Amino acid sequence: MLEQKITKKETFFIGLMLFALFFGAGNLIFPPFLGQEAGTNYWTAIFGFVITGVGLPVLGIVAIALSGSSIESIAKKVSAPFAITFTFVLYLAIGPFFGIPRAMNVSYEMSVMPFIPSQALDISLFIYSVVFFIVVFWLSLNPSKLVKRIGNIITPILLIAIVLLVAGSALTGNITGGEAPSDAYSDHALIGGILEGYLTMDAIAALAFGLVIVSTLQARGIEDKNSILRTTAMSGIVAGIGLAFVYVSIGWLGMQLGPLETFATGSEILSFAANETYGLIGMLLLGVIVTLACLTTCVGLVTACGQYFKKNFPSMRYQTLALITTIVSFAVANLGLNTIISISVPVLVAIYPIAITLVFLTLTESLIPLRKSHYRGGVIGAALISIYDGMREMGIDIQLLNEIYSYLPLFEVGLGWIWLAIIGVILGFLIGKVSPDK
């Protein structure tokens, strides 16, 4: 039987689907606020943001395509227990416990809350979340239709709405050139942007969405590993270009509006821009942007979780697992956005460096052979810092560790793990030489 081929047009729409899956809550609220805070250092900061908000997700997608399966198959190169534990934590973090509920809450706060009386907020959140998750579950029921529903239809609408918002705001004359950067972006604008890009969750979401793309291609009869890798990489590039365009656009909007008023969040910046530009119609336009962005991300995450857990619990139907994921997400979502973010940040800070280390080791192994000892050394090195960074986000400080880690360059800005990961890989290489893997 001849293997099916994916056309360039189909690859393009798969890329648009991937863009929509990535473009969710953090993608909307972080760039505008970065623009305000970075001010005249905006272009340096947004470059850093794009490195982690675009570059790492694309590399993550490629890493999954190289593995031919999922992040668990990559993590098994450390050890089987680690692979199971880390992958479950990753999927739960970006899925029902943090990622999905956060996206739903951002959608509610930006598209519904402005039109609801304060005394009706609690019941309106409940009703909105019920409707939202019913739609998410329905769209997630048939993963084979995601490209047609999201890539061909929803994504173009989303992009057009974003262009209308940014272009309309620019044409109103709110061009200021930005103001002096805040302390976080005055001396280390690039690093500030890199760290802000972490919080989009896309670097680890890529490890889940990679499975969705690979499964989509396999469902179309594509089995050749090189074909899957090539199509996945091109789809990732399409998605990356779309993300970079949107980040730069809405970040620029925040930079221009910063001198006009001090905003507490990125959502306030977008709401101000929409209202100043188009009035009530602008607020409705913003509601469409936010709802579509968060809806598509939630659909992608429910699908990814359903497909992953189906691999681990083959006796259960995908639809049942998708329903369980949706119900848990609904329950967590009603805790409120501030509670979700306060819980999720420590977990994200802890697992991001480990995920990034696994991605880079996978990409390196495509060029030169690596041993398990390389993976183990790199992951242990990254984890020694990242787990403690997560503890610090929870308010747990250990003075002795602070003094020891303070000698590491960039530790205070959250990037000290890079050095221990490199040292760990080097030690893994030396250990592998002395005691080769059986």
What is the per-residue DSSP string for 230-246? HHHHHHHHHHHHHHHHH
Whether 2 is in a domain gets the answer no
Whether 278 is in a domain gets the answer yes
Q: Residue 319, Cβ neighbours under 10 Å: how many?
A: 14
Per-residue model confidence as pLDDT tens digits over 189-202: 888 898 888 767 67
Q: What is the mean pLDDT of residues 15-31?
A: 83
Whether 50 is in a domain gets the answer yes
The answer to whether residues 356 and 280 belong to one domain is no
Q: Residue 102, Cβ neighbours under 10 Å: how many?
A: 27
pTM of this structure: 0.84
Total domain count, the chain: 2
Cβ atoms 211, 307 nearer than 8 A: yes
Q: What is the mean pLDDT of residues 180-187?
A: 82
Q: What is the CATH number of the domain that holds 202?
A: 1.20.1740.10
What angle is formed at CA 394 by the lines to CA 392 and CA 396, rounded to 5 degrees?
A: 55
CA distances from 103 to 137, 191, 297, 382 (A): 15, 25, 8, 28
Whether 193 is in a domain gets the answer yes
How many alpha carbons fall within 13 Å on the CB side of residue 304?
35
The answer to whether residues 313 and 380 belong to one domain is no
Whether 3 is in a domain gets the answer no
Cβ atoms 75, 306 nearer than 8 A: no
State which of 286, 311, 334 marks the end of a domain: 334
The answer to whether residues 22 and 140 belong to one domain is yes
The answer to whether residues 301 and 391 belong to one domain is no
Distance from C-alpha of 129 to C-alpha of 187, rounded to nearest angstrom: 42
Whether 341 is in a domain gets the answer no
Which is more confidently placed, 117 or 95?
Answer: 95
User: Which residues form the domain of 110?
Assistant: 8-334
The answer to whether residues 272 and 378 belong to one domain is no
The answer to whether residues 86 and 186 belong to one domain is yes
**DSSP letters spanning 371-434:** -HHHHHHHHHHHHHHHHHHHHHHTT---HHHHHHHTTSTTGGGT-THHHHHHHHHHHHHHHHHH
pLDDT for the residue 437: 53
Whether 405 is in a domain gets the answer yes
The answer to whether residues 174 and 34 belong to one domain is yes
pLDDT for the residue 364: 92
Our separate counts of H helices and E strands in the chain read 21, 0
Whether 339 is in a domain gets the answer no
Q: What is the mean pLDDT of residues 172-181?
A: 68
Lowest mean pLDDT among 73-77, 117-121, 194-198: 117-121
C-alpha 394: how far from chain center: 21
Q: What is the mean pLDDT of residues 97-116?
A: 85
Q: Residue 397, Cβ neighbours under 10 Å: how many?
A: 10
Q: Model confidence at 287, in pLDDT bands (50, 70, 90)? A: confident
The answer to whether residues 329 and 354 belong to one domain is no
Mean pLDDT, rounded, of the chain: 85
State which of 334, 367, 383 marks the end of a domain: 334
Is residue 14 over pLDDT 70? yes
Lowest mean pLDDT among 217-221, 374-378, 399-403: 217-221
**DSSP letters spanning 179-202:** -PPPHHHHS-HHHHHHHHHHTT-H
DSSP 8-state secondary structure symbol assigned to residue 316 = S
Distance from C-alpha of 364 to C-alpha of 139, rounded to nearest angstrom: 36
Lowest mean pLDDT among 178-182, 322-326, 418-422: 178-182
The answer to whether residues 155 and 95 belong to one domain is yes
Lowest mean pLDDT among 20-34, 172-186, 305-319: 172-186
The answer to whether residues 371 and 302 belong to one domain is no
The answer to whether residues 433 and 295 belong to one domain is no
Reading the block at residue 416, the tokens are 């000290």
pLDDT for the residue 436: 60
The answer to whether residues 302 and 355 belong to one domain is no
Distance from C-alpha of 253 to C-alpha of 229, rounded to nearest angstrom: 36
State which of 334, 361, 391 marks the end of a domain: 334
